[in-house]
Chains A and B, each alone.
Chain A
């Protein structure tokens, strides 16, 4: 492996991403909404939520009834407001956090794989001495690095926002818990790999950034299923569930990347054009 060539590809793709408004906007706006605005608003508005016209605090009875006793014991002594804060900011936001690595990896990979075909810049790269695998690894890292950096920064900002905004109710640092640490270090990279693998496969079939991005966006559906799973009380983001979820996503990501790397061959790319 020629790591200097791989570094050059990463540098090139990241420069291209940073200078594209179309690519950068979702990378800034989506984390801003999910990691700062929503938790901040919830934490700040919680004390006055019942007083807002037309707003009711969600009924968490169903969720609490289905929690295992060991976890339920941890909530002992919490006021209803504190329970609501923990329920929302620790549990309900957990699957939504996964949208960040998924979206970043998918948007950058769409630009790096399909967008490059659209801009006709891939051909020059194809005539360099880099091997197909080096090209693929370079492009894969170009998507993975921002996905992991944005996830980590998003997590830190989320933690800061949640603790500050909910301080009047909680009176202590309540975030993160162990499941969130696992989520950030184990599940988020797996989610990014899954989004990346799906986007690489989609990109091999289409010829534009928009097409790739829109089709690959379907992969967000399983994450919505996780949100619904928690709302309905079927599951919750405890340590074991989070570890298992990461494992499933790593396997899925590995399979998708395996097929992705097989589609990324010079001869295949050129033969399809």
Chain B
């Protein structure tokens, strides 16, 4: 928790780092990648619900960032600029894989079977394994709800709800007006509400689950 706070602080005050990266400092660029990789990966993961595609899109995002950061005009707009790249990479990746019919191994292999690589993944140890399992299940279910949204709505919802961007920043990243972003957000939340209702996820069920 504390470490996360420190990282958030670092991201908030990374102006000088961005300045150095902009002037071609490879070390600063590397540090920026370290600082932002988790956020961009999680954006991509929520967009695809697929680790490999998310990794691919994240890496492309950061390669593009390192190549083009010298052209970044305003340091203050770095965040929206980075998400803009991420959005474009995700869209490109989605287009590319649309006809490829590639399926993640996670979906092919039965996760519960003993030979599944899922068991080998290192999972954070918690005091209550049952609670942890329930939490994981709920998280997965909610992720799948997200996947039912349209791409446009999903982009806005992820950026606002999970990445904490301001509406202005989302508008910059998506090249849209702020009002369009807000109304997409509204319809996105409304759609999610209906999806949750359809899956019978309510206040009560959630509190029962946890």
**A and B: partners?**
no
Q: Which residues of A contact B (CB under 8 A)?
A: none
